[in-house]
Structure 1
Amino acid sequence: MKSKLILLVTVAFLALQCSTTKDTEDQDCESTAETVVIDVKGSTETEVNKDLILEVFFPVSNGCGLFNEFKETIDGKIITVSVEAIYKGCICTMDVPTRVALYTFTPTEAGVYTLRFKSTTDTFIEKTITVN
């Protein structure tokens, strides 16, 4: 009797696992969303045609969130940057982790540049970059 109960529980468990896996595979569990920047770290000086690497910190809304891409708007020497996150996976942890992405700025001429990283819909974290 005990072995029949174990067999029945095992079969039910396997059936449930197969059903859950199939449902997850049929779903499109990938999306993108703009997120805010909470901090930017790095040097504020560089040279013409030399890469300046900045660390950009941003939160994602769950454990499946990762960096996707930077979106830039350039107006002279003012560059506005927003971060797009990508969420891959149907089953995600419900934490709000902070991720880091490396932003590369390569100026083609000398001068003072302003990099504006979007921190809310109408506020920015600004970095003034001097290029020699």
Structure 2
Amino acid sequence: MKKFKLQSLAALLFIVTVLTSCSSDTDTPKDDNIYKSSFVTEVVGPVTGNVNQELSYSVSYQVENGCGQFHQMTDVNFNKVDGYQVEVKYPPTCSINAPEIKRTVYKLTAPAAPGTYYLRFAKSDSEFITTTVVIK
């Protein structure tokens, strides 16, 4: 009986040691970048398209400094109206302090149903730049 308890205790300690030593808490590299939302200044692209066709829009947005880079488009909602907002990635330090207008291309596939659709991009905390797209 004493031998069985000792073996059980040894097995339990071994399992706990294995589980804690395989922890991946420190495996993720630290991201020092700063992520901020940016407002769109202009959207240029097609106003018509066909179902399931890829549409490309040139989206201009203002960054706080010359080091800001496009990261992703995020969903936003103002007064129950859905739209998109640009998220910009800034490095921890930057020597180019002047604000700039930058561009990115936003691609999307037109819906499978014909109709009139509205693309809305945040131009302020409460306003959108709206592009109307007719899908045939």
- TM-score, normalised to structure 2, is 0.69
> Which of the residues 91, 94, 98 maps onto 2:94?
91
Match of residue 52 from structure 1: 55
Match of residue 100 from structure 1: 103
Q: What do residues 60-83 of structure 1 show as CA deviations (whole Å, max 9, x unaligned)?
A: 001110100011359xxx751111
Contact 1:29 1:90 in 2 (8 A): no
Point out the structure with max Rg over C-alpha: 2
> Which of the residues 116, 124, 127 maps onto 2:120?
116
Q: Pairwise CA RMSD of aligned residues?
A: 2.1
Matched, 1:128 2:123: no
CA distance in 1, matches of 2:94, 2:116: 45
Match of residue 66 from structure 1: 69
**Partner letter of residue 126 of structure 1?**
T
Contact 1:79 1:114 in 2 (8 A): no
Alignment of 1:72-83 (within 5 A): 72=75, 80-83=83-86
Alignment of 1:18-57 (within 5 A): 29-57=32-60
CA distance in 2, matches of 1:88, 1:55: 24
Q: Secondary structure at the match of 1:48?
A: coil
Which structure's residues are more often helix, by fraction?
1
Aligned residue pairs total 103
**Partner letter of residue 122 of structure 2?**
K
Q: Secondary structure at the match of 1:38?
A: strand
Unaligned runs of 5+ in 2: 1-30
Percent of residue pairs bearing the same amino acid type: 26
**Partner letter of residue 73 of structure 2?**
F
Extract structure 1 runs of 4+ deviating beyond 2 A.
none
Match of residue 18 from structure 2: none
